[in-house]
């Protein structure tokens, strides 16, 4: 429960309010100032004057929405005025930015005159790419939106009307499917005939509900034909011939209740009077027309939705407006029309039937979420809503003729949408696309685990890899059925019953017989799925392996070294992490394997890391890190790093590498240029080689937790074939991403093998991090 003081503190502490303007271009030097303002700014002004559409190229117009309100219908507070409604409009701006990366100015107009609002908004067209009308009371809101849509050439959308209609429409479609009812047959009762109620009725009609099967009820009772009190043209459209005069009368025998009115106006008796398998959407805020507890106590065959986040099936407008505007802006639509609204509804309805990501499950209490009575619409924090809904809206805009800049490649558009949620998603799409070009066979020793099965389902659907699951066929089939997955065609192998079992035992025994393993040991070891999976990779029956979900790193790394082995001429293996920040990507090693590497091992780790980064089409710039800058502190620790740097330069003279140096020197070219102009590192380092496992492990975890980086890895360097390690708490999406990376590496196997470093093989210790 949100306390009053908590809400006030949230808005008042620190910078007042909830929004600020952040520059998107640098303004640090005199030159920057001359470009941002006079005289440089004159050039885009001239271009826009000659070619008005260039405003979308040289200004923020194409990603800027105005949230406009006069404060006459603010949430459940009513007519509190434009100024008092400002916190809501700022909040709307936060949601636009958080969920769809759309910039917003909130504009509060101190007038009750619809014509004044129309005139004011009309004059804003040069500034904005779209207009979101908010918290304007009915029936004025209908007139304002209709007139603005006629006279403006950018999208105008009244969210209080259409947002609730679009999201509840998706809930309706899925609830009808679960309750086994046809949309053309159901009787729907609407409680509330204001902006949201009228819009819901209109939208449901577009979805297939027959107008004669709808009954509207407002504060004066049923909207019936011939009624004069409290009527207007919008209500008149839905007036029908009926004997019902009260909400209780209307609900008798109804299949669906759609409430956008007031708290506690529906009783248990009204719920019981509805038809079999009823659908109740009680969406009054903050308190519904009937509580979730009351409704579910009245009927056990009910599907219940509310506007609240503390109950299942929350109908939240944030599932609509950010993504609808995103799609509309990206095709430079001249309007948001009915086809686009229907497309948004269908996208939400279809997404609810997909497997739910772990990140969403964690955000909502770690309980399993699957399509059914308690999950008929996606959760607001499901990141997939962005590319599902925005893509559908953009396509509908193109198909209906209101898109002025059509999208040519929807695959690339989806990638661009995903990148808006963070650079790490953009990076991972690179691996996924490369994997899809030539999918490889990837074996999962933990094939019975739920997360592995869900990841394999995505991998198959997106054609990223050919997954091989190890485990009991019966148990895997049972879990696939329980999870509602489609894994037709996936290869499942029970190691103990595999035709290759005996051959693997023999090969493994011959490999390890002088390493202390007897034939009996070989038989026993082969029952271990990791060992069996490693033998598949060694013998060419799989191209890579992913494991570690239920075990520590050593249990994966040791058999990888024993069975698959190092690449030719490689003596040291290491773990590389990719750290993806908003505007850059940095790699850190070794945070996984070597506790206190020698200078020779550090050199080899640097060369292996550089080779891996080159495979990603990134030119490596390597910094050998220490607590000293180029001899400023003499100590055995700094001497080791200096020696390692010399070795790297000898082995690969063309590689941009230098050290020893401090981390700030490595990442700030200004420091390098001012104090160390002699350095061969002429730009910020993108590969950071830490002097030991302690520093590397601490660094990557701090950068992830405090620096806002997304850590991807560990990528095991030096192994002959792809073996990727999973942490015990890894997400399904992370497993999918690691699979794509494993496929990508398998595709690179034809490249040159190994790196020449002539050092003696030292002891290897593996540690769980």
Name the token pair of 199.
């819009």
Sheet with strand 621-625: strands edge to edge: 491-493, 466-470, 441-444, 544-547, 723-725, 710-717, 574-580, 585-589, 687-689, 621-625, 656-661
Name the token pair of 766.
């593996």
For 232, residues 6+ apart whose C-beta sits below 8 A from its C-beta are: 139
Q: How far apart are CA 303 and CA 284, in angstroms?
A: 17
Per the CB < 8 A criterion, the answer to whether 622 and 656 are in contact is: yes
Indicate the helix (H) or strand (E) that contains 701. helix 693-705
Q: How far apart are CA 42 and CA 49, in angstroms?
A: 10
Q: Check 10, 37, 527, 569 and give the catalytic one.
A: 37
| φ/ψ of residue 633, rounded to 5 | -130, 125
Name the token pair of 599.
């200078």
Between the alpha carbon of residue 607 and those of residues 515, 624, 689, 712, 766, the distances in Å are 30, 11, 10, 20, 20
Q: How far apart are CA 532 and CA 596, in angstroms?
A: 31
Look at residues 100, 83, 104, 80 and name the one whose alpha carbon lies nearest to residue 92.
104
| The Cα angle at residue 702 between residues 699 and 704, in degrees rounded to 5 | 105
For 38, residues 6+ apart whose C-beta sits below 8 A from its C-beta are: none
| φ/ψ of residue 293, rounded to 5 | -65, -45
Cα four-point dihedral sign 374, 379, 384, 390? positive
The β-bridge relationship of strands 441-444 and 544-547 is parallel
| The Cα angle at residue 574 between residues 573 and 580, in degrees rounded to 5 | 150
Cis peptide before 714 (omega within 30 of 0): yes
Q: What is the 3-state secondary structure (H, E, C) of 267-280?
A: CHHHHHCCCCCCEE
> What b-and-e string marks burial along 206-245, b requiring 16 or more CB atoms within 10 Å of the CB?
ebebeeebbbbbbeebbbbeebeeeeeebbeebbeeeebe
Look at residues 377, 387, 255, 366 and name the one whose alpha carbon lies nearest to residue 316.
377
Name the token pair of 139.
């029936």
Q: Where are the beta strands (DSSP E) in 231-342?
A: 256-259, 279-282, 303-306
Name the token pair of 46.
């001239």
Q: Check 4, 10, 61, 92 and give the catalytic one.
A: 92
Between the alpha carbon of residue 314 and those of residues 93, 288, 309, 311, the distances in Å are 21, 11, 6, 7
User: 37 an active-site residue?
Assistant: yes
Q: Specify the length of the chain in residues.
A: 769
| Catalytic center residues | 37, 92
């Amino acid at each position: 429960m949100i306390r009053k003081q908590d809400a006030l503190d949230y808005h008042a502490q620190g910078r007042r309010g909830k929004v600020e303007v952040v520059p998107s271009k640098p303004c640090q030097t005199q030159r920057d100032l001359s470009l941002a303002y006079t005289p440089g700014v004159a050039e885009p002004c001239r271009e826009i004057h000659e070619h008005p559409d260039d405003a979308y190229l040289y200004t923020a117009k194409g990603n800027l929405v105005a949230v406009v309100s006069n404060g006459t219908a603010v949430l459940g507070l009513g007519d509190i005025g434009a100024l008092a409604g400002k916190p809501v409009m700022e909040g709307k701006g936060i949601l636009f930015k958080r969920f769809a990366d759309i910039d917003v100015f909130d504009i509060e107009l101190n007038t009750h005159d619809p014509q004044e609002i129309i005139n004011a908004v009309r004059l804003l067209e040069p500034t904005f790419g779209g207009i979101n009308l908010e918290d304007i009371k009915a029936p004025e809101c209908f007139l304002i939106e209709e007139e603005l849509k006629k006279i403006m050439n950018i999208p105008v959308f009244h969210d209080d009307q259409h947002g609730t209609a679009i999201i509840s429409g998706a809930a309706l479609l899925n609830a009808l499917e679960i309750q086994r009812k046809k949309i053309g047959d159901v009787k729907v009762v609407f409680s509330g005939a204001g902006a949201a109620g009228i819009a819901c009725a209109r939208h449901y009609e577009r979805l297939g509900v027959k107008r004669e099967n709808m009954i509207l009820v407002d504060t004066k009772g049923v909207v019936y034909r011939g009624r004069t009190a409290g009527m207007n043209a919008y209500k008149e459209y839905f007036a029908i011939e009926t004997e019902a005069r009260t909400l209780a009368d209307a609900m008798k025998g109804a299949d669906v209740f759609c409430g956008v009115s007031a708290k506690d106006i529906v009783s248990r008796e009204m719920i019981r009077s509805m038809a079999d398998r009823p659908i109740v959407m009680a969406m009054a805020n903050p308190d519904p027309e009937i509580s979730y507890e009351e409704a579910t106590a009245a009927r056990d065959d009910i599907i219940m939705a509310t506007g609240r986040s503390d109950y299942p099936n929350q109908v939240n407008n944030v599932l609509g407006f950010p993504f609808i505007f995103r799609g509309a802006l990206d095709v430079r639509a001249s309007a948001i029309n009915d086809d686009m609204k229907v497309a948004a509804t269908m996208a939400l309805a279809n997404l609810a039937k997909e497997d739910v990501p772990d990140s969403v499950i964690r955000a909502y209490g770690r309980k399993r979420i699957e399509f059914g009575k308690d999950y008929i619409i996606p959760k607001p924090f499901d990141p997939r809503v962005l590319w599902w809904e925005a893509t559908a809206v953009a396509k509908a805009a193109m198909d209906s003729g209101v898109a002025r800049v059509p999208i040519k490649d929807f695959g690339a558009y989806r990638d661009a949408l995903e990148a808006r949620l963070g650079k790490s998603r953009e990076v991972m799409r690179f691996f996924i696309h490369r994997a899809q070009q030539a999918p490889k066979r990837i074996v999962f020793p933990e094939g019975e685990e739920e997360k592995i099965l869900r990841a394999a389902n995505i991998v198959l659907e997106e054609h990223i890899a050919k997954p091989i699951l190890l485990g009991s066929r019966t148990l895997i089939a049972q879990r696939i059925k329980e999870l509602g997955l489609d894994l037709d065609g996936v290869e499942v192998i029970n190691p103990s019953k595999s035709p290759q079992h005996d051959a693997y035992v023999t090969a493994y025994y011959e490999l390890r017989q002088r390493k202390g393993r007897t034939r009996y040991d070989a038989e026993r070891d082969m029952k271990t799925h990791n060992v069996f999976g490693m033998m598949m990779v060694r013998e060419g029956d799989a191209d890579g392996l992913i494991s570690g979900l239920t075990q520590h790193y050593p249990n994966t790394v040791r058999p990888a070294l024993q069975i698959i082995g190092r690449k030719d001429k490689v003596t040291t293996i290491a773990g590389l992490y990719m750290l993806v920040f908003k505007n850059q990507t940095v790699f850190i090693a070794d945070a996984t394997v070597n506790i206190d590497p020698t200078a020779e091992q550090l050199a080899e780790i640097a060369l292996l890391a550089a080779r891996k980064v080159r495979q990603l089409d990134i030119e490596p710039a390597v910094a050998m890190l220490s607590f000293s800058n180029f001899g400023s502190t003499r100590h055995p620790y700094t001497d080791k790093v200096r020696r390692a740097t010399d070795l790297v330069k000898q082995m690969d003279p063309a590689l941009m590498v230098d050290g020893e140096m401090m981390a700030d020197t490595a990442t700030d070219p200004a420091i390098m240029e001012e104090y160390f102009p002699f350095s061969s590192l002429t730009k910020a380092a993108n590969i950071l080689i830490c002097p030991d496992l302690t520093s590397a492990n601490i660094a990557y975890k701090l950068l992830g937790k405090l620096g806002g980086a997304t850590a991807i890895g560990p990528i095991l360097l030096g192994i002959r074939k792809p073996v990727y390690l999973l942490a015990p708490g890894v997400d399904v999406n992370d497993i999918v991403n690691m699979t794509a990376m494993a496929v990508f590496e398998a595709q690179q196997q034809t490249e040159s093998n190994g790196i020449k470093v002539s050092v003696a093989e030292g002891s290897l210790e593996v540690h769980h991090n």
